[in-house]
Amino acid sequence: MINNSFFSTEILRWFRENGRDLPWRETRDPYAIWLSEIILQQTRIAQGWEYWERFVQTYPKVEDLAAASEDDVLKLWQGLGYYSRARNLHTAAKQIVALGDFPNTLEGIKSLKGVGDYTAAAIGSFAFGIPAAVVDGNVYRVLSRYFGIDTPINSTQGKKEFAALAQSLLPASDAASYNQGMMDFGAIQCTPQSPKCLLCPLAETCEALRCGRVEELPVKNKTVKVKTRHLSYIYIRCKSSAADGIGKSEPMVAIHRRGEGDIWQGLWEPYNVSDVKELPSFVKNPILLAKDVKHVLTHRILLADFYLLETENRPPLPDDYIWIKESEIEDYGVPRLIEIMLEKINPAE
């Protein structure tokens, strides 16, 4: 018989001895904690740490973030991917400012744009001591293996079952440490591949280990099939430019902001001819920089062709394109795929 109290006690003990030392755990400031949780969604801690530091330095208070432009926020976020998180972060910052303070109830926290059950439980327990259990990939894996549960974790029944179990195990008096312990235990001890079962303090009572099912659990239903999408970009460099006042001139390049309803909303890109049936007449003999450059997103694989077109005069482009000095493109937030294109056009010395 599995002892639930033993499980929770061991998680807390393990966390005291092995928990990760992270800067956002050294504060009860809900703003700093909220930033960390949004940044770390779909992001490794090693990468997210750097971005968290950038955000708290650039926007020390939520009022600073709320007052920033979307372009500035997206630029600071550049490289993290899942850009809807950055837009939601910006919107939520404005919500918090409008409220007058960071909400301190679970429902209030969940009312913020981009905050779901897991994130609300994490912020609530870490910042305010709210006894709400977090359930993320690490928690699913630990609970599934320890209790021998084979209900698919991405099914409606599975989500309900694991949420109820996680909440029943939570020691209300130490919710923050327990939640952090569960997350760290899954990330360090009960890992997806090659878990450290021989050194696990829960080994003697782990159902998956007893039944030889560690590699089988947790169970997950098959998800959406990954699709392949082809993209084509032409980097248009116009050499004819007004002098800057000291006898020099700088090429201009054309970019436009991506709209709603597709990937990378709000970010900028060069001339996109991915869906053009026939290239316009001004596109003559573009230089092929790279073909079928692979870029992997969650549910799709992108294969992109990059071209360079140098011209003396600005060609007619759709109204949503703007012309900027080539050196200014660094001031605009672009997707990682376009970063790769820019690196090919202007390789580092």
The structural domains of the chain, ordered by start, are 4-211 (1.10.340.30), 227-345 (3.90.79.10)
* Global confidence as pTM: 0.79
What is the model's pLDDT at position 281? 86
- Output DSSP code: residue 226: P
What is the model's pLDDT at position 241? 54
SS3 content of the chain, % helix, strand, coil (to 5): 45, 15, 40
What is the model's pLDDT at position 1? 47
| 18-69 residue pLDDT tens | 999 999 999 999 999 999 999 998 888 989 999 999 999 999 999 999 999 9
Q: Which of 37, 53, 161, 343 is catalytic?
A: 37
What is the model's pLDDT at position 2? 57
What is the model's pLDDT at position 248? 59
Is 70 part of the annotated catalytic residue set?
no
Largest distance between two CA atoms of the chain: 83
What is the model's pLDDT at position 246? 44
Residue of 195, 200, 191, 188 whose CA lies nearest to 20: 188
Structure tokens at 76: 């600071």
Q: Is 208 left (phi over 0), alpha (psi -120 to 50) or beta?
A: alpha
Q: Which parts of the chain register pLDDT below 50? A: 1, 242-247, 349
User: For residues 179-200, b (16+ Cβ closer than 10 Å) or e, as one string?
Assistant: bbbbbbbbbebbeeeebeeeeb
Q: Is 81 left (phi over 0), alpha (psi -120 to 50) or beta?
A: left
How far is it, in rounded angstroms, from Cα 171 to Cα 179? 9
| 265-286 residue pLDDT tens | 889 999 999 988 888 888 888 9
